[in-house]
A = this chain, B = another copy of it.
Amino acid sequence: MLKLSKKADYALMALQHIASVQPGDVTPGRVVNTKEIAEEYNIPLELLAKVLQTLSKNGMIESHNGPKGGYLLARSARHITIAQILESIEGPLGLTDCSHERSGELCMQREHCNIRTPLLKIQDSIYQLLNNMTLQDMLSGTPLITIQSPSAEGVTR
């Protein structure tokens, strides 16, 4: 439950690896190719290639063709959030279908839906969580994210 897909896993691993060889924020660093990452982390080569392609298409990384080609971060690691990465691979993230329903399609339960509002709040909280954490935070290993729930105070659980 709430498990993120293998492709998302691979995307995070790959980006973390690419970021780790980018010394500074501005320094171009060396490019890293698909094969290198696949062998390092035991990821199926072809699948990882697909993942990197979509990441490139969504502006997370830049691709360089030909020999000595490969990928490098499109922008600084501290400006790439976990939420952006996940949304690049899979669609927009949301607990419910109705969170991003376009006009015309509305769920059968919409009329008397009693969980829409609370779920949207939870969803926002999770999104904030993922959008406040960057690739840089994953590198430095000090995410240090805390959650405070006022409704928890004074209640015995």
Contacts and interface: CB of A to CB of B under 8 A. Distances in A.
Interface string A4-44: 11001100110011001000000000000000000011110
Nearest to A146: B148
A95 B90 CA distance: 14
Interface residues of A, number: 67
Contacts of A113: 13, 41
Contact of A130 (B122, B137, B141): B122
A95 B1 CA distance: 8
A16 B151 contact: no
A144 B150 contact: yes
Interface stretch (A52-60, A61-69, A78-86): A78-86
Contacts of A142: 151
B150 A147 contact: no
B1 A82 contact: no
Interface of A: 1-5, 8-9, 12-13, 16-17, 20, 40-43, 78-79, 81-82, 86-87, 89-97, 108-109, 111-115, 117-119, 121-122, 125-126, 128-130, 132-134, 137-138, 141-152, 155, 157
